[in-house]
Structure 1
Amino acid sequence: MAATLCGKLLPQKGWLPLTQSVRHGSKAVTRHRKPMHILKQKLLAVTRYIPPKPAHPPGAYPSQADMLKEEEIPLMRLLKRDVEAVFRDCKMVAVAQNNGSTSDGMIMLQHRFHKHGIKIKFFPNQVMRSFLSESIYGGMAPLFLGPTVLFTSKEPKVKEMLATLRVSPQMVLLGACVDNTLLSAQGLASYARLPSAAAVQGELLGGLSAPASQTGSLLQRHPARLTALLQQYAAERAEAEETS
């Protein structure tokens, strides 16, 4: 039996092994992918399809206004009431941007404004935008970006305010609400050049009284001329009688 196994396992004449190692020649890869042109990359980036976002049903998410109302704190409500009182009691509310004014410069500006009855007030921009979005002064909301200051007065003191701001270049006037009218910085300059109310009233009274005086002089012209002619005729007749 051992001889039989050995005869089966030993390689016979013409027998080849089951595994053969074949050696192939390795060849270096010399071709690389050509990079895409920059213009083509830009064109593909611009024309790439962007699928639209799925629209959520109404009421699924709270609106921004509801979120602001939920986050509104008692201090914010108190400041909004103060802002409402300012717009209700003051005929001039001007907005200026504070470009690095020092505390001493602010005190000096406040002292100069106090001589003309103008006050300086500070309110957070979030409070101002929240109040303006619900009021008729919504056009002033874009002015409240960055550090802003309010100049308020119960009477429109535009000329005095502009004259005082000339010595404070750190304060850049953005716009104002004067007599419930929104004005830009150029509009405020034009408003300051207008004559005072007393001068306008005097011109109006003069214009109204001029036609009345002219009418009176026209009505008196013919009777006066007739009287002069009659007096001249009487004098000539008396002279003629004396000579005869």
Structure 2
Amino acid sequence: MDRTEKREFVAKLHAVLADTSMVVVTRNAGLTVADSTELRRRMRAAGATFKVAKNRLAVRALGGTRFTGIAPLLKGPTALAWSRDPVAVAKTCVDFARTNDRFVILGGALGERALDAEGVKALAELPSLETLRAQLLGLIQTPATRIAAVLQAPGAQVARVLAAFAKKEGGEAEAA
């Protein structure tokens, strides 16, 4: 890379990091091309991005963002993973690390808060943002459904009583 390419890379990475909520720092020494391709595929499916970057350029890109606390983790063969959904990127990294011992989670940052590897793993145990939204929607809809059922019940009971009364009257008229 020449200087202009490095400046462009730092500017693009800085812009992306300024617009994200979670960054995970990983050590990827010894990953095969197939492993890296599989990891990138999983990241894309989760709405996350995985990027190998020179540490010096990554540290420059972190400057001025809320993720400056992860700069000490950028030593050796590292890569960054990020996403707007903090649980998705953490979950994807942790799941991949379980199946591949060459992929090690060093830590990360959730906003301005730096996390160690255990913090990233704890975050991965939480339900995803979509799951939380679905659960919240279910909680909101449940009372409304119950209220509608309660409000409909008296009308349905009156209708059943009238139908039974009409049936009874109709049966007495036929008998006479």
Q: Which residue of 2 aligns with 1:139?
A: 69
> Which secondary structure does the structure 2 equivalent of 1:152 belong to?
strand
The 5-angstrom pairing of residues 1-244 of structure 1 reads: 78=7, 80-88=10-18, 92-97=22-27, 101-102=29-30, 105-116=31-42, 117=44, 118-125=49-56, 127-144=57-74, 146-152=75-81, 156-177=88-109, 182-229=114-161, 235=168
Structure 1 pair 163/227, CA: closer, same or farther in 2 (3 Å)?
closer
Partner deviation per Cα, 1:29-61 (whole Å, 9 max, x = no partner): xxxxxxxxxxxxxxxxxxxxxxxxxxxxxxxxx
> Which secondary structure does the structure 2 equivalent of 1:139 belong to?
helix
Answer yes or no: is the 8 Å Cα contact 1:86–1:152 preserved in 2: no
Question: Could you tell me the TM-score, scaled by structure 2's length?
Answer: 0.63
Answer yes or no: is the 8 Å Cα contact 1:120–1:151 preserved in 2: yes
Partner deviation per Cα, 1:148-199 (whole Å, 9 max, x = no partner): 4123355643323222223443443122245787543223223323334444
Structure 1 pair 206/96, CA: closer, same or farther in 2 (3 Å)?
closer
Post-superposition offset of 1:227: 4.6
Whole-Å separation in 2 of the counterparts to 1:196 and 1:114? 19
Structure 1 pair 92/106, CA: closer, same or farther in 2 (3 Å)?
farther
Which is greater in Rg?
1
Post-superposition offset of 1:121: 1.3
Partner deviation per Cα, 1:118-173 (whole Å, 9 max, x = no partner): 43312234x444444533222223323x3141233556433232222234434431
The unaligned stretches of length 5 or more in structure 2 are: none
Answer yes or no: is the 8 Å Cα contact 2:18–2:66 preserved in 1: no
User: Which protein has the bigger helix share?
Assistant: 2
Whole-Å separation in 1 of the counterparts to 2:90 and 2:78? 16
Structure 1 pair 226/113, CA: closer, same or farther in 2 (3 Å)?
closer
Question: Could you tell me the TM-score, scaled by structure 1's length?
Answer: 0.49
The unaligned stretches of length 5 or more in structure 1 are: 1-73
The number of residue pairs the alignment matches comes to 162
Answer yes or no: is the 8 Å Cα contact 1:132–1:138 preserved in 2: yes
Structure 1 pair 199/211, CA: closer, same or farther in 2 (3 Å)?
same
